[in-house]
Amino acid sequence: MTLPLKIDEEVRDALKGGRPVVALESTIVSHGMPYPQNIETARSAANAVRNEGAVPATIAVLSGQMTVGMSEADMDVLARAGRTVRKLSRANLASCIAAGETGSTTVAATMIAAHLAGIEVFATGGIGGVHRGAEASFDISADLQELSITPVAVVCAGAKAILDIPKTLEVLETLGVPVTTFGSPDFPAFWSRASSVPSPSMSSSTRQIAREFLLRRRLGLQGGQLVANPVPAEDEIPAAVMNPLIEHAVAEARERATGPSLTPFVLGRIFELSEGRSAKANAALMLSNARLAARIASDLSDLRRTE
């Protein structure tokens, strides 16, 4: 059986030549934002990667093919399909491929596909984590475990306050996942620059982050690393504005959603409750993450060249 992996030609050439490539996920497109903001954000994130001199590779499973480097037309299909497509993580990735079906990849599944393709840097919006009330529900995203297994550096804007941020950082520490915040001592809270939770470490150098990634590989340390990039100051929404909306959405979700549909439900309600105000911040932070990821990927490819 051959590997059900279809890598776009431009992405393949870049990887062969040791040039920088940045993976992008597709669950943020199908389940993370409403249409048409989702496709607009996906398109501008890919352009942001290009403007920094790297090649973007958006990842999804399309009719049973793990696709690394989607066309705009394919992205548009996923964007319009929204939450009707399967949401894929480590547990259900192979079953979707075996059934020949289509699904969008979460952070965990995107890391798996990126690693198979040979991509080491990945930009997303927010990662999954430990949900509020996890002490009763046991709901902890498979993204955290994936970060401890698969060697991909993931750039995100921290975690939304729909999650329990201190518990999320505790689990990452337990799993041995390095967490670095770019240019700030505070771990960011997605729409807000600071969560009032200190980041385990801080760096202001993409080269140093790239060096740490390489060093971990040389040391034989399994897994990836998390790079948290605070939303640009001019696009931030203060926690005081977001928190009441989050509380409301999380309370509603308690009656109406569990399991894999929990995160999409809460995200959808927050969009509605904030009347699109969060969409602008979301798009801005995604672009900023795409740029930072491209710079890390460029430094990594330089370091490999001079190694």
From ligand PSU, Mn ion, none, interface partner of 106 (C-beta below 5 to 8 A by class): ligand PSU
Handedness of CA 180, 37, 129, 176 (dihedral sign): negative
By beta carbon distance, the residue nearest Mn ion is 139
Residues at the contact surface with ligand PSU, assessed by CB under 6 A: 25, 27-28, 31-32, 89, 106-107, 125-126, 128, 141-143, 160, 190, 260, 263, 267
Beta carbon nearer to ligand PSU, 28 or 97: 28
Q: Does 72 participate in catalysis according to the annotation?
A: no
146 contact choice in Mn ion, ligand PSU, none (CB below 5 to 8 Å, kind-dependent) = none
Q: Which is closer to ligand PSU, CB of 278 or CB of 298? A: 278
AA identity, residue 259: G
Which residues are bridge partners to 203 per DSSP? 182
The one catalytic residue among 25, 146, 212, 236: 25
Number of other CB atoms surrounding residue 254 within 10 Å: 12
Q: Which is nearer to ligand PSU, 210 or 224 (CB)?
A: 224
Binding at 41: pick from Mn ion, ligand PSU, none (beta carbon under 5-8 Å per type): none
**Least spacing, CB of residue 306 vs ligand PSU, in Å:** 34
Least distance (Å) between residue 250 CB and ligand PSU = 13
Sequential DSSP letters for 57-72: EEEEEETTEEEES--H
Q: Count the Cβ atoms, other than its own, within 10 Å of residue 87.
A: 20
Selected range binding Mn ion among 58-66, 71-79, 134-142, 250-258, rule: CB under 5 A: 134-142
* Two structure tokens written together for 56: 């973007």
Residue 28 interacting entry, from Mn ion, ligand PSU, none, C-beta within 5 to 8 Å by type:
ligand PSU
Report in angstroms the alpha-carbon separations of 192 from 55, 70, 205, 240: 29, 30, 22, 9
Residue closer to ligand PSU by CB (options 5, 91) is 91
Site for Mn ion contains 139 (CB under 5 A)? yes
User: Cα–chain-centroid distance for residue 84?
Assistant: 20
> 125 is in the binding site of which of Mn ion, ligand PSU, none (Cβ under 5 to 8 A by kind)?
ligand PSU
Residue among 120 and 139 whose Cβ is closer to Mn ion: 139
Q: Which of 52, 146, 160, 236 is catalytic?
A: 160
Rounded to whole angstroms, the Cα distance separating 185 from 120 reads: 25
Please give the helix or strand (H or E) that residue 195 lies within, else none: strand 192-198
Task: Identify residue 294 by its one-letter amino acid code.
Answer: A
How near is the Cβ of 288 to ligand PSU at its closest, in Å? 14
- Whether residue 85 contacts residue 51, with contact meaning beta carbons closer than 8 Å, is answered with no
Sign of the alpha-carbon dihedral angle for 11, 222, 86, 265: negative
- The first and second tokens of residue 35, run together, are 């249409």
- Rank residues 42 and 267 by Cβ distance to ligand PSU and give the closer one: 267
User: Least CB distance from residue 115 to ligand PSU, whole Å?
Assistant: 15
What sign for the dihedral angle of Cα 62, 95, 89, 245?
Answer: positive
20 binds, among Mn ion, ligand PSU, none (CB under 5 to 8 A by kind): none
Whether 160 is catalytic:
yes
- Distance between alpha carbon 117 and the CA centroid of its chain, in Å? 17
Active centre residues (catalytic): 25, 160
Interacting residues toward Mn ion by CB under 5 A = 139
